[in-house]
Structure 1
């Protein structure tokens, strides 16, 4: 399975599930730079960057990233690279709904948000694999 897509993609999913969103960006940026037409990678990158913005209290940046991630990933529905893109799209919609209306909030207020974090797993022949 690991030969079907870059190792960085599998590591991205692992780091995403561990909520290490800054590391997610670093993992996918290099392969996205080589495959700039791959909007799937760009969408995943923007989702992770949006979550990083949220953690820093930058609600405006998070909203922009989630919106663009959704736009890029729609074309890959229902599934791509063994990931349920439909599940990711639903998650992004939940993220957008959960964002406060303000553009920025203090860092200490971020922890008080009831924000929907989610993990994603690869789908292979009806089984799931956490991509480890």
Structure 2
């Protein structure tokens, strides 16, 4: 959809379709890193933190959930959310309520929907969900380990290789007497 970055659409599709909050985080974090001067950069961070907070909450990590969801509130700007096609005031209210409920252990985990205000954005997201075989607004599959424990199960070989390469480069510089 031209009006909104495709990454925002993808975030919303995974957020409401397969409820893969880890993927939401990955998609929007990569976009945010590529576009550090985006006019809504802080709000993008807030949306990333909402996804991470819900990932933690669904896994039973209350402290992580409260920390991330609470922190997101300092980044979420209602006008910027509106500029991204979302109902800013309602979204912030829902996150604030979720923080309170999580702090108090008031209710068991339940999926949180982000209110999409722009009907064209909503239509685009629902269409993409259908093409991917997702049902918009579906309930999380709490038995799917890739949704619950993805941080433990994902392929990190590229990260491990890069760290090894950097370590080797540092060793070579030290041998040659160079400085870092």
The structure whose residues are more often helix, as a share, is: 2
Map 1:60-75 onto structure 2 (within 5 A): 60-74=63-77
- CA spacing shift, 1:8–1:77, aligned 2, 3 Å: closer
RMSD over aligned Cα atoms? 2.5
Residues of 1 paired with 2:103 and 2:110: CA distance?
A: 10
List per-residue Cα deviations over 1:57-99 (Å, max 9, x = no partner). Answer: 1111111111111110136367221111112101101211211
Is structure 2 residue 123 aligned with structure 1 residue 129? yes
SS across alignment from 1:73: coil
Residues of 1 paired with 2:85 and 2:12: CA distance?
A: 11
SS across alignment from 2:118: strand
- CA spacing shift, 1:48–1:29, aligned 2, 3 Å: same
5+ residue gaps, structure 2? 129-180
Map 1:2-13 onto structure 2 (within 5 A): 2-13=1-12
Task: Tell me if structure 2 keeps the 8 A contact 1:47–1:69.
Answer: yes
Task: Tell me if structure 1 keeps the 8 A contact 2:87–2:117.
Answer: yes
Is the deviation greater in 30-39 or in 83-92? 30-39
Number of residue equivalences: 121
Q: Which structure has the larger Rg over C-alpha atoms? A: 2
Task: Tell me if structure 1 keeps the 8 A contact 2:73–2:92.
Answer: yes
SS across alignment from 2:22: helix
Is structure 2 residue 21 aligned with structure 1 residue 26? no
Task: Tell me if structure 2 keeps the 8 A contact 1:16–1:24.
Answer: yes
TM-score, normalization: structure 2? Answer: 0.58
* 2:108 counterpart (107, 110, 113): 113
Task: Tell me if structure 1 keeps the 8 A contact 2:57–2:109.
Answer: no
Residues of 2 paired with 1:44 and 1:85: CA distance?
A: 11
4+ runs of 1 displaced by more than 4 Å? none
The structure whose residues are more often strand, as a share, is: 1
